[in-house]
Each structure stands twice: as structure tokens, then as C-alpha cells.
Amino acid sequence: MKKSLVVYLGFMVLVLIGCQNGAQDTSGDDNDANEAEVVDESVFDEPVTLTLWNKAMGIIDQEMADELFAPALEKYPNLSIEMLKDVNIEEMIASGKVPDLIATSNYSLLEQIDMELAGDMSEFFETSGLSLDQFNPAIVENLNSFAELTGKPGAIYGMPVSMNQGVLAYNKDIFDQFGVSYPESGMTWDEVIELSKQVTGNVGGTDYIGFSPGGPQIMSRPRSLPVVDENDKATINTPEYQEIFRQLEQLYQMPGVVNEEQYNYNFNFFMEERRLAMVPYWFAAFTSRIPIMEETGVNWGLTSFPTTSEHPDLGREIDYHLFLVPETAENREAAMLAVAELVTEEAQTYLGKEVLRLSVLDNEEIRGAYAEGAGLYEQDVLDDIFSVEPAPTPTPTRYDADIYSVLGEAQRKLAIDKVDINTVLREAEEEADKKVQELQEKEN
């Protein structure tokens, strides 16, 4: 099943992501017998084709789908997976025929719940011996938040199969040119910004940018900061957001960081221009871009995602990928059995080593074997990255994407128009409240 690194990484462009048990309770033979009594696998006595629609789990084609489901395909010879292309999901729902499986992430889960595409799997978990306790605690907390949000405590709206981890990527050559030590694990946002001052400037006729965080949400979501409160009122003009914009202002006051209309430097700039010293990113997405960085000559390094002094053990917010099984799926039982095979310890080890999917299990050994099959990372690099745990996400709302756009405009005003922080956030909160009202009127 193992393929070349380039083949694997070509499919790993993601969106945007643990300790003790495997997917199933293997504490004794009696448990195994009990599972056999309650889990009916007779659905696979005849050929079963499960249709799969990819909503938000990176690029998945038929070949990658077969790689992801290899453990299930091996256990159930009559099983096959069919990727659906050019799907209009609204039309499918209207016709009464939905996919058997939907690949998505927690970022899109609320939308799928609203569309009634995320069936509750809690009963299947109970009868098959699965337990949420086997998963990374941040995943469990996030899944439970969706159950609470929908007023159905205990509901489980999907099967987590892989996750992500925040990282801080850096260009070793830039640090070497300035004679500055590389960033270390456990650094706070303030420490990263202070370090960036030492690698911002001109060397040999080339202008270098020390650090660019991206949009404000990359700094706010790891702090679990919502954009609206329980009454759907914007919560942007707060001390917490003021602190984030203070940190952004420090960056924009460094000579050379703001260049006419340019102030925000993304990962493509890091890879192609090779003038950005540090940038926060997702681990899986970074892994997928290693071939490009090798071609462009980036002498890269990785360490843990920046933290806060209040929570030095927490990095970027939890990002995980899961398979949903709609209540009305034609092959629902077979679909749940198939995805359950992807979260055994054996399957998660395979997915991590060979398919470059970071394990969702709360198992340090399995997580530490990530990308081992491709030989991409030294163990000390993985130890640094995993030295911080994923932070809880803010409570998701239907207004997040629109209000993050408002925050992005506030960031531009701060950097380009030089508007003061108090004014920027006050105006952003007013605009956010208008956005919420407009969206609510459209819904009604």
C-alpha cells in the first residue's frame, strides 16, 4: 500500500489539525465475544459500494480514498468505495438520495448538521464497543460542544479519522544570515514577535520580513475567542482582541514589514520568495509542500505553534477530519462499520506512517510515528511540535466566516491606514453586528 512520497504529498493539500486505547475495547476475550454479539457484519456478505462525497478534507480522489479505507477494504473484501464527483448536495438531498459517507472537518461540521447530513453515531459507538475516551481530548471536547450546541447531549456526529497540528515554520538561512538563533519550542506570541525584530531588515540588498501571522483569527482561535456571544452580539471590541491587535501593531511598526499595500505574507511567499523568516501553519499542509520547498531551495525548520503566557501548553486550535454518515444513507450500517475500522491502533499507525494522516488517538507512540514511512522528520522535531496540545476551539456559530472577514478588514486598516486600535475594533464590532443582523434577516 505504500507509495512514493511525492504521490502521497500530492494529495495532502489540506484547508485549512494523543494516549491510551485503540479504537475498540480490547481489554479481554469476553469483550470481543460481546462485540460479536451486537455488531452485525452480515451487510458485507454481499458486495457493498459506499458512495463518498468530500466536503472539506483536503484533496481526495479515488486513489486516495482507497488508500484511506485500505484497512476496511482489507477486512471486508466485498466493500468498495466510490468517490462522487461534481456533486450538488442540495439536489441530492431534495431527491432523497444522499451519500453514504461525507468527508469533512470540524470547521464545516455545523453546516453539515444543519443540512441533516451528520447522523448521530452514539448508538453505534455503544453497541460496537467504541469509546470517545480513545480519542485526543481536544477532539472529544469539540465533538461534545456540537452535541450541546444542537441540544442533544451525548450525540456523536461523526467518526474522527485524522487531525492536524499547528506549527511554526522558519527559514534557517535567514536566521543564519542575521546570526540569530532559530526559534525554539514553547515560544509565546510576544517572544516570536520580539525574535522577528532581529530577522527583519536588509541583508545583501534583500529585504527580509521576520514574521507574518496571517489573519487575526489565526491568533484568536487558539485563544478560544468567539466572535459573537450567546445573544448573537459581536464580541470583538474586548481586551483579548485588543491584545491581539497590539501584537499585530508591533509587527506593522517594524520598518519594511508594510510595503505599500502589502502587509500580510502567506505561506506561498515563505516558499517562493524566501524572504519570510517565520510563519504559522498547519502541520499536514506543511508536509504536503515539502517537495515544492525542496525545489525552491527553502532550508526549512519546524517547531511548536506559538502559545500564550496564560496557556503555555496549548498551541493552535483543534482541527480534525471526520467521516459523517447521514441518517438516511442507503448503506448506513456498512458505512459505520467501515469507518470504525479506520480508528483501530493498527489502522491509525498505518494512516500516520504511510498516508501522512496524523492520528486522532490519544496515543503518543502512534502520534510520534507520523510520516515515519516517508522519513521526513527527526524525532526531536516531532517532539517539539507535539510539546503543546491543541487548544479548544471557540463555540462555532453560523456567523464566523463573515465576521472573520470583518476582522480581516480591521487588520488592513491597522496596517495600511494606520487607524488606532480602539477605533479599528469599535468600528469592526459595529460592522459585525450589522453582518449578523443581515444574515438573520436572510434566514427569516
Q: What total number of domains does the chain contain? A: 2
Residues 290 and 418 in one domain: yes
Residues 29 and 152 in one domain: yes
Residues 293 and 353 in one domain: no
Residues 362 and 298 in one domain: no
Helix axes 239-252, 421-443, angle to 10 degrees: 120
Across 278-287, average pLDDT: 96
Q: What percent of the chain has pLDDT over 70?
A: 91
Of 391, 406, 423, the domain-final residue = 391
Does position 143 have pLDDT exceeding 50, yes or no? yes
Lowest mean pLDDT across 41-45, 361-365, 372-376: 372-376
160 vs 142: CA distance, rounded Å:
11
Residue-wise pLDDT for 403-430, tens only, equals 999 999 999 999 999 999 999 999 999 9
Stated pTM of the model: 0.87
- CB-based contact 51:101 (threshold 8 Å): yes
- Its domain, for residue 322, covers 5-164+318-391
Average pLDDT, the chain: 90
Residues 154 and 186 in one domain: no
**C-alpha cell read off for 287:** 508536509
Residues 424 and 309 in one domain: yes
pLDDT at 374 (0 to 100): 81
Residue-wise pLDDT for 364-394, tens only, equals 999 988 988 888 999 999 999 999 999 999 9
Residues 116 and 248 in one domain: no
Residue-wise pLDDT for 207-225, tens only, equals 999 999 999 999 999 999 9
38 vs 21: CA distance, rounded Å:
21
For residues 164 and 9, the model is more confident at 164
CATH of the domain at 331: 3.40.190.10
Residues 115 and 39 in one domain: yes
Of 353, 375, 391, the domain-final residue = 391
Residues 220 and 239 in one domain: yes
pLDDT at 442 (0 to 100): 87
Residues 331 and 413 in one domain: no
Residues 236 and 151 in one domain: no
Of 347, 373, 391, the domain-final residue = 391
pLDDT at 59 (0 to 100): 63
- At residue 58 the predicted structure's pLDDT band, cuts being 50, 70 and 90, is low
Across 395-399, average pLDDT: 89
Residues 209 and 253 in one domain: yes
Residue 186 CB contacts under 8 Å (≥ 6 apart), including other chains: 304, 307, 312, 387, 388
Lowest mean pLDDT across 7-21, 122-136, 329-343, 345-359: 7-21
